[in-house]
Amino acid sequence: MSALENLTAEGKELLRRDQVWPFLMPKQQAVDVSHQVILYVEGLNLSFDGFKALNDLNLYINDGELRCLIGANGAGKTTLMDVITGKTQCDSGTVYFGQNHNLLERSEPEIAELGIGRKFQKPTVFEAHTVFDNLELSLKTNKGVMPTLLARLTPTQLDRIDQVLEIIGLKEQRFMLAGALSHGQKQWLEIGMLLVSEPRLLLIDEPVAGMTAQETERTAELLTSLAGEHTVIVVEHDMEFVRSIARTVTVLHQGSVLAEGTMDQVQNNKDVIEVYLGEEA
C-alpha cells in the first residue's frame, strides 16, 4: 500500500494540485464590528463637472441590518454604491468597512475580496451554464471559466453551494440552464452567486424591478432571511416592496441624507413631504 493511500481525506485535500494551501493564503484582517456598525460613510463629496452628485453625505449601517435606500432619480444612490464598491473615486470624505478597513484605499477587486458583494439591477448570469455551474463559477477563484469548471470542488465548497441553492429556492433547478429560468429566478441566482463567497455586506440594486407579484413576495422573504448573518442594503423605487421589508429607510436627496427612520417616520417627515410634493408640483 502506498503512503498516499494511507492519507486521511483532509490530508488528500491538502495535496490537491488545484488548491492553494490555506496556510499560504494571505490572512485577511477580520472586519471589526465591535461598535455594531459595519459601514461608516462620512462627509462624502463627489462632483461631476461642478454638479454635486454626493454632498456631505453621512451614513452609518449597523452590522446585520437590512437597510433600504430610497430617493428620486438622480438623488445619488448609484453614485454612493459606486464609491463604496470602489468603482468611482470621491472628491473627499471617508468610507470605512467596520472600524478597520478604509475602503477608499482599496481597489474594486480588493473591496469585493473583503466581503462586499454588489448586485446590479439587470441579472448577469451565465445563461448557457446550469444554475449549479453559475454558483460554482462565482466561488472565489482567480482562474478562468474552463479551468474553474474542470477543477474539483472541495467538500466545503459543495456544501456551501447546496446551502445557497436552498436559501435562494433553486434546489430543483440546479441542473437547469440559467437561460431557461424566469426573470425572478435569475435575480435569485445572481444573489446566490454573491452568497457563495459568504459576503458580510450585500448591496442590491432594484431587486424587484420587472418581477411578478409572487416573485416580489418571495424576494422580500429572501432578503429578510439574509439579514442578521449578512448586512443588506437595498436600493429600490417600489415603495410597497420597501414597506414590506424595511426596518430603517434612508431617503437621499441631491446627494445628501434627507431623512432616516421607519417607513412611517420618513413618510410623515416634513422635509420628505416638501421635496416629494415639490417635485410632483
Q: Among residues 79 and 138, whose Cβ is nearest to ligand ATP? A: 79
Q: Kindly state the smallest distance separating residue 49's Cβ from ligand ATP, in Å.
A: 6
Q: Does 48 bind ligand ATP (CB under 6 A)?
A: yes
Q: Does 21 bind ligand ATP (CB under 6 A)?
A: no
Q: Does 76 bind ligand ATP (CB under 6 A)?
A: yes
Provide the residue type at 98 as one letter.
G
Q: Kindly state the smallest distance separating residue 114's Cβ from ligand ATP, in Å.
A: 23
Provide the residue type at 173 as one letter.
Q
Q: Kindly state the smallest distance separating residue 47's Cβ from ligand ATP, in Å.
A: 9
Q: For ligand ATP, which stretch binds (CB under 6 A), given 69-77, 108-116, 134-142, 267-275? A: 69-77
Provide the residue type at 237 as one letter.
H
Q: Does 89 bind ligand ATP (CB under 6 A)?
A: no
Q: Among residues 77 and 101, whose Cβ is nearest to ligand ATP? A: 77
Q: Does 169 bind ligand ATP (CB under 6 A)?
A: no
Instruction: Look up residue 229 and give its three cell numbers.
Output: 448573518
Q: Does 85 bind ligand ATP (CB under 6 A)?
A: no
Element (H, E) at 261: strand 256-261
Q: Does 118 bind ligand ATP (CB under 6 A)?
A: no
d(CA 5, CA 11): 10
d(CA 259, CA 58): 11
Q: Does 207 bind ligand ATP (CB under 6 A)?
A: no
Q: For ligand ATP, which stretch binds (CB under 6 A), given 75-83, 106-114, 146-154, 261-269? A: 75-83
Instruction: Look up residue 104 and give its three cell numbers.
Output: 477608499
Which one of residues 70, 71, 189, 215 is an interface residue with ligand ATP (CB under 6 A)? 71
* Residue 47: strand pairing partners: 52
d(CA 39, CA 59): 8
- Exposure string of 242-281, with b = 16+ CB inside 10 Å and e = fewer, is bebbbebbbbbbbbbbbbbbebeebbebeebeebbeeeee
d(CA 231, CA 98): 12
Q: Does 203 bind ligand ATP (CB under 6 A)?
A: no
Which one of residues 63, 78, 168, 233 is an interface residue with ligand ATP (CB under 6 A)? 78
What is the SS3 string spanning 77-122?
A: HHHHHHHHCCCCCCCEEEEEECCCEEHHHCCHHHHHHHCEEEECCC
Q: Does 79 bind ligand ATP (CB under 6 A)?
A: yes
Which one of residues 2, 29, 73, 214 is an interface residue with ligand ATP (CB under 6 A)? 73
Q: Does 74 bind ligand ATP (CB under 6 A)?
A: yes
Binding residues vs ligand ATP (CB under 6 A): 48, 53, 71, 73-79
